[in-house]
Amino acid sequence: MSLRIRVGATALAIACFGALVGCGTPRVDPEAAPSPPAVVLPTPAANDFVSTVMRTKGLNMANLAIDVTTTTTDGISHLSGSGSGAVGQGYGRIEWIQDDGSRFTEVSNGKGLFVQSGGPTDRWTHYADKRATPTSYLVDALRGLGTAMSVVQGGTEQLGGVTATRYVGRIPADADSLSMLALPAEQISGLSDAWRGQWIDVTVWVDGGGRIIRVDRALEIPDTPDGPVSATTSTRLEDFGQAIDLEPPPTESVTEASTST
């Protein structure tokens, strides 16, 4: 992130004062005099970006459309999801479609995560941890954006008929930021230490109302124990501020997840 640094002229003023007062006054070595602390200010682009993240979180709810692509030596896999998310809290209801056409639904709320595989009459599984599956993180569409570094404004472009301002930045790869790429825990473990020191590239589009309407994340690791790995997620946000139904399924249709290890 580019920075502006203001350093006061205190040391220079002290040197001039010592020279003018005379022999009776101890001389002050300007090199020995302590300098005032530097004031580090974020760039305007970074300030605008963080304000945009907070403003969008304040709208609380948005409809979400999510696309996930993972590429390994085994091939390319895709996953798509749609639904609604309480973007200020990380709760939501998303229906997912896998490569083979199979579907599952996730509902996360203050009581945990409820997952239904198959059709609408199938039973749900309840997990106490609302982040119990790799995909459950993605409902939290703005997660980690406030920590993005080296944020710069990349101009404007048309996005779905809307003129949007583009911001680009990067987030250090760690367990939390990797989770926003829907990488399963075993896959992250398979990366060994190859992800350390890597960066996740982030591109964010903001509409004229200062709302984030799309978030793209991308990671490429060319050298892992199992070969190169890349992962991308693209999340589109729209219809902000509407009501969202996060009620858990009826108790009689829910099975508790096993807690055995």
pLDDT tens string 92-111: 999 999 999 999 999 999 99
Task: Quickly name the fold that domain 44-101+131-245 has.
Answer: outer membrane lipoprotein receptor (LolB), chain A (2.50.20)
CA 15 to chain centre: 49
> Rounded to two decimals, what is the model's pTM?
0.80
Tell me the pLDDT band of 261, cut-offs 50, 70 and 90: very low
The percentage of the chain sitting over the pLDDT mark of 70, rounded to a whole number, equals: 82
* Res 10 pLDDT > 70: no
Higher pLDDT, 42 or 229: 229
Tell me the pLDDT band of 238, cut-offs 50, 70 and 90: very high
- Give the residue extent of every domain in the chain: 3-42, 44-101+131-245
**Predicted local distance difference test score (pLDDT) of residue 7:** 36
**Alpha-helical regions (H) of the chain:** 10-21, 44-58, 175-179, 185-190
